A and B are shown apart, each in its own frame.
Chain A
Amino acid sequence: MYASPVQQAGSDVRAPRPGLAGLDLALLAAALGLIAVSVYTLTMATQDDVPGSPLYYVVRQAIYGVVGVGLMLAVARFDVSRLREHQRIIYAAMVSLIALVFVFGVAARGSKRWIELPFFRFQPSELGKVLLILALSAFVVDRVRRLGDREVTARIVLLALFPALLVVAQPDLGSGLVYLAIAAVVMFVAGTKWTHLATLGGLATASVVIALLVAPAVGVEVLKPYQVDRLTAFVNPTEDPQKQGYQLRQSITAIGAGQKLGRGPEGATQTRLDFLPEHHTDFVFSVVGEQFGFLGAALVLSLYALLLWRALLILTSAKNLYGALVAGGITAMLMFQVFVNVGMTIGIMPITGVPLPLMSYGGSSVFVTFLAIGLLQSVHAQARATELAKARELAAA
C-alpha cells in the first residue's frame, strides 16, 4: 500500500564512487572538526575522572569517532531512497528497540535508557531518532497529496508521539522532545498547512502548561518531581544549591570564568575539581567555555552553524521529496539538540538530558550523529549524481 508509485529515480545512475568524491566536504569538515574538539576537550577535562586511567574517556570517544566516521562513509555511498519502501520494518524496529529497554535495560540514576552490549552501552532512543526520521518521511511522502487533511496530520503526529512517549517513560524527557521536534520539522518541510501547525503548537503549549502547572496542582504526577525541577531550574538557578539549580549555577560559573580566552586545561578548576557535574556528557559545552573561553565556544558554535547550513543546503538540493524530508528531519534533530543543550549550559533553556551532538561523550550519540550525517551525505551524493546525469543528457541532446 505504501509501495512507491514511482520507479527509483537513480536507477539509471551509477552509485557514487568510493572515497571522498561526491561528499559534501564542508559538512565532512564540520563533523570531523567537532569530534576532534570533543576528544581534545575530554583529554583535559576527564584526566582525573577515572583513577589510574586518565585517558579512559578519551580513548573510547576516539574509537567511537573513528567507527562513526566509517559508518558515515559507508552510509554515504548508499542510496537513502531505497529505505523508503521499508518504512514499516524501520518503524517496527524502532518501537521494538525502544521497548526492549524496558525488558533488558540497565538502570542508571533512576532511568532505564541503555542496553548493555559487549563494547558499549547501546541507547536505543538515540538510534530511534534516525529511524523515526526515515520511517516518518516515507509515511509523509506517501500522503503528500493529502497533507491538507486533518486526519493525515493527526496520523503523522500519532506516529511520532507513540515512540516519543515510550522514550519519555524510560524516563528520558529530552530525547522524547527530540522526536517531536523531528516530526514538527518533517511536517513543516513537507508542506503541512499553517493552520494545522498552529493548532499543534497550541496543543503543545497547553500540554506543557498542564504537565507543569495544572497537574501538580490537582495531585496528578505527569512528570517526576526531579523533572519538574530541572525544567524550571533555569528560571531561578540559585534557589536551592543542592538541587538541579546547583548544576546550572556551576555551569554558568564555569562558562563565565572562562572569559575571553579561557582558563586553560589546568586552570579550569570548575571542571577539574568536579564542581561541574556531567562535564564529559551533558555539560561538555561548559567545559569548552571554561577551558577555551568565548573564543573556543564561538569556534564550536561556528562548526555547528556550518553543519546546519550544509544540512539545509542539502535539504534544498535533494533529488526527491523523501531525501528532502530526511535531510529536514536530521536538521531538526541536530538543531534541536544543539540549541537545547547549549541553551541549558548558559541558563536560557530548561535542563533536559540532551547530548550535544559529536561533543558529548557517548557511543550511541556519536554513532547516531555520524549515521545521520552519513544520510545527509547520501542525499547530497544522490542529488549530485542526478545533476551530473542530467548534464550528460543535455550534452548528448
Chain B
Amino acid sequence: MYLDNRRPTITPALAFRVAVLGGIAFLMFSVIFFRLWYLQVLSGDRYVAEANDNRVRDIKVQAPRGQVVDREGRSLVDNRTALAVKVTPAELPKGGPAQDDLYERLGDILRRSARRIRKDVNEQLAAVPFSAATVKQDVDLPLVQYLLENGDDFPGVTVERVFLRRYPHDEVGAHLFGTVGEVTKEQLDEEDYSGAEMGDRVGQSGVEANYDRYLRGRNGATRVQVDAMGTLTGSLSAKQPRAGRQLRLGVDLDVQRTAQQALGEGRRGAFVVMDVKDGEIRALGSAPSFDPNLFAKSIKQSDYDRLSDPLNGNPLSNRAIQSVYPTGSTFKLITATAGLEGGLIDPETPISDPGSLNVGGTVFKNAGGAVNGVIALRQALSVSSDVFFYKLGLEANGAGDGLGIQRWARRLGVGRRTGIDLPNELPGLVPSPKWRAKANREGIGDGRPWSAGDNINLSVGQGDLQANPLQMAVAYAAVANGGRVVSPHLGNRIEDADGRVLQELPSRARRRVDIEPEHRDAILEGLRSAASESGGTSADVFKDFPIPIAGKTGTAEKGLGRPDQSWYIALAPYPNPRYVVAVTDEAGGFGAETAAPAARRILASLFDVRGQEKKVVKGDSRTF
C-alpha cells in the first residue's frame, strides 16, 4: 500500500511503530510524574526550607553597652552615638577598577589608604557576609554631609549611627574601666563571651571585660528579604536590641577626683582607697593618667606609643596593681604582726633602741641618726624606730624556720595577687632564703647567700621586697578588721537603666587569719600615735584634722642615686576604721613629705571635711 503513497488503512508494521512511540511517551510521562511526586509531595517541606534560606537574611542591630556609674549613680562610662562610614556589600561596584576608584575617593576623604580600606572591608565581609562593613568610625559631620550630598559618586557607601564609649570625666578613673574592642576569633569560643557575634564590640580589659556579660546587651536583628543579587526587597520582621545592664561601682567619683589631684601634676605614683571590711574600692588610680576617650574608637598607634612609653611614665600602666616596690616603713605593720603572733614580743616587751644595730660587722642605723632609747611596740610604730624592727627581723630570722615575717606577709596578702577585678595585677615578691637560693641558681641573684641582713632589711620594707599599694591596703585592712583578708573589688551591683538592682555582686573575704584582738589594738594604737602624738611621724600632717587617723609613713630607698619613694597608709576613723588609704609617690622623698599630705587630702574628701580637700600639709618627719 505504501507504493502509491495512499494508505486508507494502517498497516500492522506502522501500527507497531506508532505503538512504540506511544510507549516511549507513556514511559517518559510516568518518570516525570514520579519525579514530580517525589520532589513536590514527598520532599516539599525540605525545598520550602531551602527556598526560605535563599531569601531571608538577618541584619544585626547593635545593642548599646550598659553604663558604668559610681556609687552615687553618677556616670563614669556611657555611650555616645557616632557616625560611622560603612559600605554595603550588595551595592558596591562589583570588583575591578570601579571598586578601586571608589576606595581611592573614600580614602582621600577619610584620610586612609585605599589598600587598608579594602583589607578592612574584605575581612569584615568574610566574617559577616551581609552586614555593612565599617570603613571608619566617628566621622565628622561635614565629611558625612559631603558624602551624603555626593551619594552618586559613592555607590554602596552608607553612614550609620553607632555607639561608642564615652568617658565624661576624661582622666578621672582612667585606669578603672579597661577597654572595649571587637571580639576576637579566640574569644568567640570562650564561655565568658557566649552570645557575642563576630563584629561585636566586647570588653577587652578591666571592668569592661570582667563584667562584659552584663554590660554587653543583646543585639537586635532586622530580618529582611533579599533577591538573588543580594538586593534588599523588603523587611520581614525586626527584633529590638536590648541595651546592656548598668554596672554600679563602689567608686566615689569625688574621692577619685580628689585623689588624682592630690597625687599631683607630673608625679608618678598610685593610690588606693578601700573599705576595710568588705574590700570595696572607693578610689584607685595611678599617675600619670590618660584620657580613655582615645580608646573609644581604635586608638592611633602614635597615641598608644606615647601612652606606653616609659619616658613619659607609661601612663597606661596602673601603678596601684601593676607596679611593685619596696614599701619602706609601712611594712612595719606586718613585722609587728609577725612578732606579736609569733610570740617574739608582746605589746609591752621593752627593746632598746640605741640608734643602730651591729650585726656581724654590718651597722644598721636609724634614719637621721635618731636614738629612741628603750621602747615598746606602740612607741616604735609611732616614731618609726628602725632599730626596734631590725631587732625583730634579726630575731625572726633565728626563730623556728626563720620565716615568721615572710609567712605573715603572705598571709596578709603581700607577694600574691589580691584578685581585684582589674587585669594584669602583679604578685610582687616577699624575699626568703628559698627565693634567694633559687635566684642564685638561675643566675639572676647577686650570688650572695641569704643572711640575717636580708631579714633585717625586710623587717623595715627595704631590700628585695616588692609590693604594690593595693596589697599593702589589703594587709592594713586585714589587721584593722581583725583578720579578714578581703577581696578588693570595684563592681558593686548590676542594675537596669533606671538604677534598680538586678543583682548584687558578692564580696567574699578571701580568707581569715588569726590576730589576737589585743595585738591588733596595740598596733592600731601605735599607728594612731604616729598620726596624732607629738613625735609621731605624721602627727604634724594630721594636726587639727577632725577625723581621728591611724597611719604609717614609709620611705623606700631604691639606691642607685634614685630619689626615695614616699609611702603613706592610713586607717580611719580610729579606733574602728572603715577605710584604708594607701598612697605612694615614686619620687616623693620622705613619707611625711608627699604621700601623707596626699592621703590627708583624700581623707578630707572621703569624710567630707570641708575646705580640706585642697589643703596641702607637709610633715617634717625624716624617718624611713
Contacts and interface: CB of A to CB of B under 8 A. Distances in A.
B55 interface: yes
B50 A253 contact: yes
B47 A256 contact: yes
Interface string B34-51: 011101110111111011
Contact of A316 (B4, B15, B28, B44): B15
Contact of B14 (A257, A297, A309, A316): A316
A256 B6 contact: no
Interface stretch (B16-24, B111-119, B268-276, B406-414): B16-24
Contacts of B39: 252, 255-256, 289, 346
Interface stretch (A14-22, A119-127, A199-207, A268-276): A268-276
Contact of A191 (B6, B14, B21, B41): B14
Interface residues of B, number: 46
Interface string B70-89: 00000000000000000000
Contacts of A258: 40, 44
B228 A335 contact: no
A7 B3 CA distance: 13
B8 A390 contact: yes
A171 to B, nearest CB: 26
A386 B8 CA distance: 9
Contacts of A320: 5-7
Given A256-B47, A259-B48, A270-B54, A346 B6 contact: no
Contacts of A318: 7
A108 interface: no
Interface string B101-131: 0000000000000000000000000000000
A328 B41 CA distance: 35
A47 to B, nearest CB: 13
B22 to A, nearest CB: 6
Given A274-B228, A275-B227, A298 B33 contact: yes
A294 B32 contact: no
Contacts, number: 148
B28 A339 contact: yes
Given A185-B21, A191-B13, A252 B233 contact: no
Contacts of A6: 4-6
Nearest to B42: A256
Given A4-B5, A191-B17, A274-B228, A289 B36 contact: yes
A297 B34 CA distance: 12
B29 A301 contact: yes
A234 to B, nearest CB: 12
A255 B47 contact: yes
Q: Which label, helix, strand, loop or mixed, suits the secondary structure of the A interface?
A: helix
Interface string B43-68: 11111101110110000000000000
B5 A312 contact: no
Contacts of A322: 5
Given A312-B18, A312-B21, A320-B5, A273 B40 contact: no
A139 to B, nearest CB: 14
B21 A255 contact: no
Contacts of A324: 7, 14
A294 B226 CA distance: 26
A331 B52 CA distance: 40
B32 A343 contact: yes
B143 interface: no
A145 B228 CA distance: 58
A360 B17 CA distance: 30
A44 to B, nearest CB: 16
B92 interface: no
B229 interface: yes
Interface residues of A, number: 57
A273 B41 contact: no
Nearest to A335: B25
Given A144-B2, A145-B3, A316-B10, A255 B36 contact: yes
A188 B17 contact: yes
Contacts of B565: none
Interface in B205-233: 225-229, 233
Contacts of A254: 47, 51
Q: Which of B2, B7, B22, B36 gathers most chain A CB within 10 Å? A: B36
A348 interface: yes
B140 to A, nearest CB: 37
B40 A297 contact: yes
Contacts of A309: 22
Contacts of A256: 39-40, 43-44, 46-48, 50
A321 B2 contact: yes
B3 A273 contact: no
A298 B6 CA distance: 39
B48 A257 contact: yes
B497 interface: no
Contacts of A308: 25
Nearest to A346: B35
A259 B40 contact: yes
Contact of A273 (B18, B48, B233): B233
Contacts of B2: 144-145, 191, 321
A258 B44 CA distance: 7
Contacts of A316: 10, 14-15, 18
B502 interface: no
Interface string A177-200: 000000001001101000000000
A269 B37 contact: no
A319 B18 contact: no
Contacts of B47: 252-257
A96 B8 CA distance: 37
B31 to A, nearest CB: 7
Contacts of A317: 10
Contacts of B48: 256-257, 259, 263
Contact of B40 (A4, A255, A386): A255
Contacts of B45: 259
B29 A260 contact: no
A347 B14 CA distance: 34
Contacts of A293: 40
A9 to B, nearest CB: 6
A288 B48 CA distance: 15
A315 interface: yes
27 contacts: A6-B5, A9-B5, A141-B5, A145-B2, A185-B21, A189-B14, A191-B13, A253-B47, A254-B47, A256-B46, A256-B47, A263-B48, A270-B51, A273-B228, A274-B227, A289-B36, A301-B33, A309-B22, A312-B18, A312-B22, A316-B15, A316-B18, A319-B8, A321-B2, A321-B7, A328-B21, A346-B39
Given A273-B54, A301-B29, 16 more contacts: A6-B4, A145-B3, A185-B21, A189-B18, A254-B47, A255-B36, A269-B51, A269-B225, A273-B55, A294-B37, A305-B29, A312-B25, A317-B10, A322-B5, A335-B25, A346-B39
6 A-B pairs closest in CB distance: A256-B47, A259-B44, A273-B227, A274-B228, A257-B51, A294-B40
